[in-house]
């Protein structure tokens, strides 16, 4: 039996003259997780999670373990917390790098080689026994620095060096033919955790179509940067989203290089919440955005309920950030305009597969 989530999303864009009149999103399919997990001991499900959640598998494992511990009223050691945060950061860095390759450089052999070297270096960093010392760690740090430089990322602000393929890609996206309507943005953060979790455990349909009193916030690398900079109104095109991913790659690498300490970790990156006897939840800031797990255990401490809401459900919501970003946007002539729309859809998550269809309709 295949348990993997179908990650394909179908997007239909209706165009009237030169403007996008409507955007329809058919969400991905979700397996019946509650029924599949019911009656099983939590420990037996850890090896199943990567089969179900192929994207951000480590983040899902951390969220699941944290929610189970909260339900049991168990604490964890500082070393365990540090290990889990490093796992999440390492996976986030790897997934952001994968997104660069998949979304921007699949045919660029030089950039692809640098990205592969980065992934190998990050893996070596994470496997170092002692974060503060060791020849293996020093060699890994050197390899990562060389690979970042090959991509043109030499500063912690992440701005790619002029003339590099990454910088040229940013320029190409800035010049692309999509003129979105200015809008006020809303972002999902640790401050929303209690509201999200309350809805998740009280409303069976919330995980498929979430909203917070009509607010459907964005989550992910660009949203994290906007919150750090305290900006809610600004350009939100593919170029800005790519630059946010590049900057985050530089920041995450710097955190690993400087020792991966809990006290300097990103606020809210892993949070757990005890909801009552046998009930717990957790939130993890993964590559794609904020991920939530909620669990309930029966008297024998077996699984009786399991709910998940992934970042994709917010970003690709039928009334969510992608739809709002495209609605009303003015396009250049085909095929340039269609290419710009495709870049915009991919900029929300390069590693989530999608089909994009265009439909010509009457005047908007």
CATH of the domain at 63: 1.10.645.10
Residue for token pair 């640098």: 114
pLDDT at 100 > cutoff 90:
no
Per the CB < 8 A criterion, the answer to whether 288 and 310 are in contact is yes
**Could you give the percent of the chain with pLDDT greater than 90?**
43
Helix (H) or strand (E) holding 294: strand 289-297
In a domain, 146, yes or no: yes
Residue 231's pLDDT band (boundaries 50, 70, 90)? confident
pLDDT at 174 > cutoff 90:
no
Region of poorest pLDDT, from 87-101, 171-185, 266-280:
171-185
**Binding site feature residues for Mg(2+):** 308
**Per-residue pLDDT averaged across 291-296, rounded?**
96
pLDDT at 266 > cutoff 70:
yes
**Per-residue pLDDT averaged across 143-170, rounded?**
82
Cα 179 to Cα 327: distance, rounded to the nearest angstrom: 10
Cα 263 to Cα 284: distance, rounded to the nearest angstrom: 17
**Per-residue pLDDT averaged across 139-168, rounded?**
81
Residue 363's pLDDT band (boundaries 50, 70, 90)? low
In a domain, 51, yes or no: yes
pLDDT of 129 reads: 46
pLDDT at 279 > cutoff 90:
yes
**Per-residue pLDDT averaged across 125-151, rounded?**
71
pLDDT of 220 reads: 95
Burial group, residue 339, by CB count within 10 angstroms (0-12, 13-18, 19+): middle
In a domain, 330, yes or no: yes
- What is the 3-class SS of 16-80, one letter each residue? ECCEEEEEEEECCCCCCHHHHHCCCCHHHHCCCHHHHCCCCHHHHHHHHHHHHHHHHCCCCCHHH
In a domain, 297, yes or no: yes
pTM of the model as a whole: 0.90
Helix (H) or strand (E) holding 96: helix 78-104
In a domain, 233, yes or no: yes
Region of poorest pLDDT, from 6-10, 75-79, 187-191:
6-10
Residue 73's pLDDT band (boundaries 50, 70, 90)? very high
15: helix, strand or coil = strand
Number of domains in the chain: 1
In a domain, 2, yes or no: no
In a domain, 80, yes or no: yes
Cα 205 to Cα 2: distance, rounded to the nearest angstrom: 23
**Binding site feature residues for Ni(2+):** 351
Return the higher-pLDDT residue of 259 and 128. Answer: 259
In a domain, 1, yes or no: no
**Binding site feature residues:** 308, 351
Domain that holds residue 243: 8-360
pLDDT at 127 > cutoff 80:
no
């Amino acid at each position: 039996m295949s348990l993997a989530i179908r990650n394909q999303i179908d997007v239909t864009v209706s165009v009237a003259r030169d403007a996008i009149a409507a955007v329809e999103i058919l969400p991905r399919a979700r397996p019946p997780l509650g029924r599949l997990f019911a009656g099983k001991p939590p420990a037996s499900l850890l090896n199943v999670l990567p089969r179900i959640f192929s994207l951000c598998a480590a983040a899902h494992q951390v969220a699941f373990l944290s929610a189970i511990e909260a339900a049991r009223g168990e604490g964890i050691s500082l070393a365990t917390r540090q290990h889990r945060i490093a796992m999440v950061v390492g996976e986030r860095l790897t997934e952001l790098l994968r997104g660069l390759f998949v979304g921007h450089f699949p045919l660029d052999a030089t950039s692809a080689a640098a990205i592969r070297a980065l992934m190998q270096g990050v893996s070596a960093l994470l496997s170092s026994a002692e974060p503060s010392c060791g020849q293996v760690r020093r060699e890994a740090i050197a390899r990562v620095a060389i690979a970042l430089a090959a991509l043109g990322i030499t500063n912690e602000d992440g701005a790619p060096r002029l003339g590099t393929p990454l910088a040229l890609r940013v320029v190409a996206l800035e010049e692309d033919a999509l003129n979105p309507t200015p809008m006020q943005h809303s972002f999902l953060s640790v401050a929303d955790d209690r509201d999200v979790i309350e809805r998740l455990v009280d409303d069976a349909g919330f995980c498929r179509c979430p909203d917070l009193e009509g607010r459907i916030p964005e989550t992910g690398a660009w949203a994290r940067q906007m919150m750090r900079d305290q900006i809610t109104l600004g350009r939100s095109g593919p170029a800005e989203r790519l630059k946010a991913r590049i900057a985050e790659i530089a920041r995450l690498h710097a955190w690993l290089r400087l020792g991966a300490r809990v006290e300097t970790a990103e606020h809210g990156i892993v949070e757990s919440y005890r909801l009552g006897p046998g009930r717990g939840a957790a939130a993890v800031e993964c590559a794609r955005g904020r991920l939530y797990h909620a669990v309930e255990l029966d008297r024998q401490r077996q699984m009786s309920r399991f709910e998940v809401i992934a970042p994709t459900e917010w970003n690709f919501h039928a009334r969510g950030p992608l739809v709002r970003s495209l609605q009303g946007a003015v396009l250049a002539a085909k095929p340039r305009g269609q290419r710009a729309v495709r870049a915009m859809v991919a900029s929300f998550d390069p590693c989530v597969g999608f089909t994009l269809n265009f439909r010509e309709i009457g005047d908007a």
